[in-house]
Amino acid sequence: MADISEKELVEMLYADIGKLMWAMVWDIANEDRWQLNADEVYGELCMELTHVVNKYHKKPYSQLKALAVTSIRNRIKDIKKALWLTYRKDEEFALSLEDISSVPGVVTEWFDLEGLLNSLSDDGKKLVFEVLYPSASTMRQILISAQRKKSVSKRDAWSVSPNKLILRRSLGWTSSKLEIAWAEVSTALASI
């Protein structure tokens, strides 16, 4: 598949097996444990999909798709196994929110998201929601950035976060529109 870019291959595979990926996510999702939060698990599967394309992009599409499905299934097993072993070891040290709130000197104030949103314009609200709950478009932009970073980075330790460029592209906004919303959200956060 030399005539198709890696980005296009990731998008094709995502279109073909995206529903399967979400089905796998919901098989192990557990909102009570952050490591099994659906978005966390889905992010891991997206990274695995990108990894497969980076490594095997020259294979025929049918083989690449089979490799991607197998790799994603194996990644789900790894996540469950790693979490089970880690959870068992750390279980005795875990504290509930009730335990934490009873410890003297621990601040248990919660962030007032509703108050923040009420102080923002529609663009500001949309930006906040896009950061907190990334759309498929933003996830695609993050995958593309991860793919680029992985192909040029000589280090194994790197990360990708939803920066201004990713958000601007995924929202389809101009630079000035994003800057205005960004400044509004920054000002609102600073006043909290």
DSSP state of 33: S
Q: How confident is the model at residue 158 (pLDDT cuts 50, 70, 90)?
A: low
Q: Is 71 exposed, middle or buried (0-12, 13-18, 19+ CB in 10 A)?
A: middle
Residues 6+ apart with CB under 8 A from 83: 33, 35, 36
Residue type, 39: D
pLDDT of 95: 45
State residue 53 phi and psi, 5-degree precision: -65, -40
The domain locations on the chain are 1-102, 110-192
pLDDT of 180: 94
More confident residue, 7 or 33: 7
Kindly state the average pLDDT of the residues 157-173: 81
Kindly state the average pLDDT of the residues 187-192: 82
User: d(Cα 100, Cα 98) in Å, to the nearest integer?
Assistant: 5
How much is the pTM?
A: 0.44
pLDDT of 183: 92
User: d(Cα 109, Cα 87) in Å, to the nearest integer?
Assistant: 27
State residue 155 phi and psi, 5-degree precision: -95, 155
- Give how far Cα 121 sits from Cα of 19, 77, 99, Å: 34, 43, 38
Kindly state the average pLDDT of the residues 82-106: 49
For the ranges 48-52, 107-111, 160-164, which has the lowest average pLDDT?
107-111
Which secondary structure element, helix H or strand E, spans residue 56, and what is its range?
Answer: helix 38-56
